[in-house]
Amino acid sequence: MNFSGFLNHDDGRSPGGETVGGGNYFFSPAAAMSGGPVQSIFSSPRLSLGLQTNVENNGGEVGRTGESFEVSVARKSPESRSGSDHADALSGDDDLDASDRPLKKKKRYHRHTPQQIQELESVFKECPHPDEKQRLDLSRRLNLDSRQVKFWFQNRRTQLKTQIERHENSLLRQENDKLRAENMSVREAMRHPMCSHCGGSAVLGEISLEEHQLRIENSRLKDELDRLCALAGKFINRSDEAVSHHLPNSPLKLGVGSKNVYDGGGFTLVPSGFEISPFFSGLEAPVNRTGTDVAAGVDEKSLYLDLALSAMDELVKMAQTSEPLWIASSKGKMLNREEYNKSFRPCLGPKPDGFVPEASKEVGMVIINSLALVETLMDSERWAEMFPCMIARNSTTEIISSGMGGTRNGALHLMQAELQLLSPLVPVRQVTFLRFCKQHAEGVWAVVDVSIDRISDRGGSASSAWSSLSCRRLPSGCLVHDMPNGYSKVTWIDHTEYDETNIHHLYRPLVRSGLAFGSKRWISALQRQCESLTILMSSPNKPTPISSIGKKSMLKLAQRMTENFCRGVCASSSQKWSKLDIGNIDEDVRIMTRKNVDDSGEPPGILLSASTSVWVPVSPRRLFDFLRDELMRSEWDILSNGGPMQEIANIFKGQDHSNSVSLLRSTAMNASQSSMLILQETSIDASGATVVYAPVDIPAMHSVMNGGDSAYVALLPSGFAILPDVQGTEETGSLFTVAFQILVNSLPTAKLNVESIETVSNLISCTVQKIRAALRCDK
């Protein structure tokens, strides 16, 4: 997750002009900046790559130019002119007699040393607008006056802005030249029109050039009208006669007046009067490129568009409808299956044999506007960062449409994702789906997902289309309404059909209720993440022991730790874990192994992951508070050496201070642990809680807290995941997952022995027993 926006910004500008060093050079930041605070060099997406390279390659030159004089941005004299020459030039009339001319002391300029410039440049890259405290700290470290540091940053920002403007002007000139050349070529083509059929010169006769262009545009609009009429005919099942006057000779007439239904051996034409879903053919049959398919006039992208529009229509209706479609219960709003079957025709065809339906609806207020949320959902990387504990892996396979008018309205993406629940007893859900975004009104957006597994299953038989499918998403997504003060009202719908045979019986009631993968979990995670971003981007009211740069690095390290923990629990394909089957290990304990050779974020060697899930008769909140209490940690953590932990740093990520990243130190360390700290991230919301921790070296953590790169800090996470156990209408306890990742051998070529596996298995069992005993739970 990128938290670069929460750094404290201070433009460092004085309220008026400054007289520096007693001289007569008047510096006006407002005049020099000419228009407010300097934009970031990477604020323009088109310029970011080129400018970043340019600035980095010329960093030394920029530093020398910016540091030749303390204040030089308000005057326009050649750089080769010295300060003394400039002072003489301003001293008065050269024709005056020397005796009549008042004596003036020449201005002394201070040229910074290369070491000072290097240090200032490194700080400028991280924070172009240092506050007063940071400037004082720099002046003490570099033996400079605070005003010198202040004016250096002002000059540096102005110089950077000038470079950006020059580069932008250069790009605009290039675009202007390109457009001028295109205009000339178009004019030349219009003077000598060519026939599109024969390739020869077109004879316009007495028709003017403007009229000819209008006729071409009219023909294009007619073709577009025919296409839209054909598409509309599919939705409203109009007959051939109703649309024949729009499509007299179009090959799309066959697709409008009849439906192509796959019957196991080929496509069969069915009259439009029959009650069959207009999308049944494309979704129930493999799409092949045979002559029959071409004759039907249906291609893959048109099927995608049909499916996306149908799914969007269903999502919006389900989001705007309450009872009797949705029934309120203690677990949230549940779908009335009978009413749903009456109101909607399934756009994905009949439910596969053995699949179980799951549907839920949740409404919540989220501190994010609709445009920002839409951008997050349509960007696969940002989507995964927003829901790190729910999305194990995802990618955008194809961008079918990027939207209209520079917005996400009409954007259609083909995506793949692995959805996870933090337990080894619940397999990862692999889905391939379309994500479609549409703006319904000002400040009202909808984003819908719908599976396309049977469309993408080409070349196979209808009976084997579901052979590898364990889950499919019916129209699911969110309807977003902008609200005052930057909030949005989000209505989330999750509708899924899945195979529950591979789910452990302990988790089946939770998954069926919709609390495992349903809308309540999506909304809860979204609210928690948006609240965290808002708090971290706001300026602190009081000084904190960790700098803004240090917070950013520490949060990145904690984010990577939590992501690796989740992947180790759920055996995501993003990490190449191999499952081990050991006869004397409990069947509910999953042992996996992999080798790390070149990942600097983990120790090299053979890694072992062990996880299990159990039921405990305590509430999720009580269990969570016990595990995150550093004073009670000695009850279960062998790293504490029997003594309590001491918290030495903390970053709160929510109004509930339980959501935080902290740094712990054992008060009873032995000699081998004298250079070790514990990095821990805790989070809780209405859908569950996690406690993730990992031992880290003190020197590495010291570098991170000073703003160093956290990507090179090697760690192996362990921790706990807590979910509510729902039986009937009551919560009867907690579903508790324990997971460890351990380095068993530092040589990647070494062989894994049974003793190491048994040791890790015993560690899990011992930890669970200690927690049960401390909470006085019945075994």
For residues 357-380, average pLDDT:
93
pLDDT band at 96 (very low <50, low <70, confident <90, very high): very low
Please give the structure tokens belonging to residue 132: 């007063």
Handedness of CA 142, 148, 152, 153 (dihedral sign): positive
Q: What is the pTM of this model?
A: 0.62
For residues 83 and 725, give the distance between their C-alpha atoms in angstroms, rounded to a whole number.
Answer: 76
449-463, 474-488, 489-503, 553-567, range with the lowest pLDDT:
449-463
Which residues is 681 bridged to in the sheet? Answer: 661, 692
For residues 624 and 658, give the distance between their C-alpha atoms in angstroms, rounded to a whole number.
Answer: 9
pLDDT at residue number 287: 35
pLDDT digits (tens, 9 = 90+) for 453-471: 655 544 444 334 434 578 8
The SS3 of residue 178 is helix
For residues 733 and 738, give the distance between their C-alpha atoms in angstroms, rounded to a whole number.
Answer: 16
**Strand 589-596 relative to strand 488-499: parallel, antiparallel, unpaired?**
unpaired
* Cα 378-495-286 angle, rounded to 5 deg: 80
For residues 543 and 628, give the distance between their C-alpha atoms in angstroms, rounded to a whole number.
Answer: 25
For residues 211 and 224, give the distance between their C-alpha atoms in angstroms, rounded to a whole number.
Answer: 20
Whether the CB-CB separation of 620 and 730 falls below 8 Å is answered with: no
Cα 770–chain centre separation: 38
Rounded (10°) CA dihedral 285, 288, 291, 295: 60
Whether the CB-CB separation of 640 and 750 falls below 8 Å is answered with: no
Name which residue leads in pLDDT, 718 or 38: 718
For residues 416-439, average pLDDT:
92
For residues 270 and 443, give the distance between their C-alpha atoms in angstroms, rounded to a whole number.
Answer: 42
pLDDT digits (tens, 9 = 90+) for 534-563: 888 776 655 667 788 888 899 999 999 999
pLDDT digits (tens, 9 = 90+) for 301-321: 888 888 999 999 999 999 998
Q: What is the mean pLDDT of the chain?
A: 75
Domains of the chain: residue spans and CATH:
116-120+122-164 (1.10.10.60), 302-458+468-535 (3.30.530.20), 542-775 (3.30.530.20)
For residues 321 and 12, give the distance between their C-alpha atoms in angstroms, rounded to a whole number.
Answer: 53
For residues 336 and 327, give the distance between their C-alpha atoms in angstroms, rounded to a whole number.
Answer: 6
- % of the chain residues with pLDDT over 70: 69
- Start-to-end CA distance of the chain, whole Å, equals 40
Q: What is the CA radius of gyration of the chain?
A: 33
Please give the structure tokens belonging to residue 126: 């991280």
Residues in the chain: 779
pLDDT digits (tens, 9 = 90+) for 596-620: 888 888 888 889 899 999 999 999 9
DSSP string, 374-437: HHHHHSHHHHHHHSTTTEEEEEEEEEEE--STTSSTT-EEEEEEEE--SSTTSPPEEEEEEEEE
For residues 331 and 728, give the distance between their C-alpha atoms in angstroms, rounded to a whole number.
Answer: 10
For residues 43 and 167, give the distance between their C-alpha atoms in angstroms, rounded to a whole number.
Answer: 13
For residues 58 and 65, give the distance between their C-alpha atoms in angstroms, rounded to a whole number.
Answer: 11
Please give the structure tokens belonging to residue 53: 């390279």
